[in-house]
Amino acid sequence: MRRVPVLHLVHTIAYGGIETAVLNWLGRLDGSRFEPHLACFANPDGSEAPFVEAAGARGLEVAKIPWGRHKPLVRSARALVRLLDERRIEILHTHNPYADFVGLAASRMRPVKTITTVYVWDDLGWKRNVLQWLDRAAIRHFDVVSAHCEDTYRRTLEFGFAQEKVTTLICGYEAEAVTLSRDERRRGRAALGADEGDLVFANIARLWPEKAQEMLLRAFRRVADRHPEARLWIAGVGPSESALRALCTGLGLDDRVRFLGFVKDLPGLLALVDVMVDPAQAAGVSLAICSGMAAGLPIAATDVGGLREVLKPGHTALLFPKDDEDACVEAMLHLAQDADQRARLGGAAREFLATRYSLAGAVAAVEKTYDSLVTR
C-alpha cells in the first residue's frame, strides 16, 4: 500500500491546544497509509521552541520555515515549496492564519492538496478581526476547510462557505490521568507551595488577553477572602505574563498565586489540583479543558464557543457567562464549598471524555478526510 506524505504547517507562538491537537493526530495517524511530516515558523523570539521540543519527544522532527516581524510571505512560501518538493508532499494541512496564507501561496507555486483547520471565529480585537477576515478570504481557495468543533462549523457555513467543502474534525483526547499516593500528592503540592488542606484552583492556558486571566485574578481575590486555604496555579506562557504578575502583586496575591510557565508534564500537575477554572472569552473545544476532564477535575468555565460539546452544565461542569466576574466568583465558591459536588462533576467529566471524545475516533475522521482528498 502506498503511503501518502502529509505535511502539517503550524504557526505557533505559545505551546497550547492547537499544538497538542496536531501532535496527537500525527502520533496516531496510520503509518502504513500516511507518512507524517511537520513544519512550523521560525519566530524571531524563538517562541516555537516548546512545540519543537514536545514534537521531538514524540519522535517527530520539525522543519522550520523562515519568518519575521515583517511577515515575509513570499520568502516563507518559497521555503515551503522547497520542503514540499524535498518530501514529495501530497497533502498540506495548515493551522492558524499566517500558516494558511503561506500555504495558499505555496500551493500556487507547487500543486498540492490543501486543508486547513479553523479553531474559532470570534471578536478578538480589531487587528485580529482583520486577520480573521483575510483568513476567511484565503481559505476559500483551499480544497477542504475543517472546523475544530460544531460551533466553528456552524459559523463557517454562516460566512458563506459551501457545505460540501466544510467538515468537522474534532481534536479528540486520549486520557493520561496520573494516580498518586496520598504521600506523593502531598509532596508534589508542597513543592509548589500548597499544603495538604489547601484548595488548589488551576488555570491552564496561554497568557493571552482573550484567556481573561486578569478577570480570573480579580475573581480569585474575592474567593481567597472567603477561603484562606484557596490557592491558584496559572500554567502557560505568553505576552500577558508581565501584566498579570503586576496585577497579582497589586491584588496582594503573591503568596496565594503561582505562575508555573510552560508545564511539560500536564497530567502530573493536574493530579495535584482540586479544581480547574477557565474564564476564556473565546474557545472551540479547549484541550486544556479536556486534560482537566481526563484528570477527573471539577471545572468552572465560561460558556463560550464549542465548550458545551464536552461540558454539560451541572453534570460535568459549572458554566458562567463571558466577562461575568460575579458569576465566575460564584462558580468557584460553589466548588470550594462542596466536596461532594466536586467529586460528582469530576467523575462525570472523566467518563464523558473516555467514552464520547476519544482520540481514536478523531484520528479516524482525519484519515477519512485525507483519503477523500487523495482520490479527488
230-248 pLDDT tens trace: 999 999 988 999 999 999 9
Cβ neighbors of 301 (< 8 A, separation 6 or more) are 276, 277, 278, 279, 280, 286, 289, 307, 311, 317, 318, 319, 320
210 DSSP 8-state letter: G
Helix-strand-coil split of the chain, %, nearest 5: 45, 20, 35
Looking at the structure, do residues 77 and 222 belong to the same domain, yes or no? no
| CATH number where 126 lies | 3.40.50.2000
Q: Are residues 63 and 202 in the same domain?
A: no
Cell readout for 45 is 523570539
Same domain, 280 and 329: yes
Q: Taking the CB of residue 126, how many other CB atoms lie within 10 A of it?
A: 8
Return the closest-CA partner of residue 91 out of 35, 41, 50. 35
Say if residue 196's pLDDT is above 80: yes
| Contact indicator for 101, 131 with CB cutoff of 8 Å | no
Residue 106 lies in a domain: yes
What is the total count of domains within the chain? 2
**Could you identify the residue written with the cell 460553589?**
334
- Same domain for 123 and 268, yes or no, is no
Give the CA count within 13 Å in the CB-facing half-sphere of 349: 29
Model confidence band, residue 368 (pLDDT cutoffs 50, 70, 90): very high
Q: Please check whether residue 211 lies inside any domain of the structure.
A: yes
156 vs 141: CA distance, rounded Å: 14
Is the confidence at residue 284, as pLDDT, over 80?
no
- Name residues whose C-beta falls within 8 Å of residue 86's C-beta, 6 or more positions apart in sequence: none
Query: Are residues 349 and 229 part of one domain?
Result: yes
Reported in sequence order, the residue ranges of 67-206 that DSSP labels E, i.e. its strands, are: 91-95, 113-118, 144-147, 166-168, 199-204
Is residue 10 one of the residues assigned to a domain?
Answer: yes
Is residue 121 situated within a structural domain? Answer: yes
Cell numbers placing 143: 480544497
Mean pLDDT of 25-49: 94
Give the pLDDT score at 1.
67
Chain mean pLDDT for the chain? 93
| Burial class of residue 299, CB neighbours in 10 A (0-12, 13-18, 19+) | buried
Using the predicted structure, report yes or no on whether residue 145 has a pLDDT greater than 70. yes
- For residues 127 and 200, membership in a common domain is answered with no
Burial of 142 per CB tally in 10 Å (0-12, 13-18, 19+)? buried
Locate 310 and state its grid cell: 464536552
pLDDT above 90 coverage of the chain, percent: 73
Full domain range(s) for residue 318: 182-356
Assigned domain for 146 exists: yes
The identity of residue 97, as a single letter, is: P
258 and 331 both lie in a single domain: yes
Q: Note whether 157 and 233 are same-domain residues.
A: no
Burial of 160 (C-beta count, 10 Å sphere; 0-12/13-18/19+): exposed
CB 366 within 8 A of CB 8: no
Assess whether 197 and 274 both reside in one domain: yes
> Above 80 in pLDDT, residue 124?
no
Nearby residues of 218 by Cβ (< 8 Å), 6 or more positions away: 247, 251, 325
Q: Percent of the chain scored above 70 by pLDDT?
A: 99
Smallest CA-to-CA distance from 107 within 197, 7, 206, 220 is with: 7
> Does residue 172 carry a pLDDT above 90?
no
In a domain, 249, yes or no: yes
Residues 209-234 have pLDDT tens digits of 989 999 999 999 999 999 999 999 99
What is the phi-psi region of residue 154: left when phi exceeds 0, alpha when psi lies from -120 to 50, beta otherwise? alpha
Residues 31 and 161 in one domain: yes
More confident residue, 290 or 138: 138
* Same domain (yes/no): 350, 365: no
228 and 266: one domain? Answer: yes
Beta bridge partners of 5: 35
144 domain residue, yes or no: yes
Which pLDDT tens digit goes with each residue over 302-314? Answer: 998 888 888 888 8
C-alpha to C-alpha distance for 36 and 8, rounded to whole angstroms: 8
177 domain residue, yes or no: no
In this predicted structure, what is the pLDDT of residue 178? 81
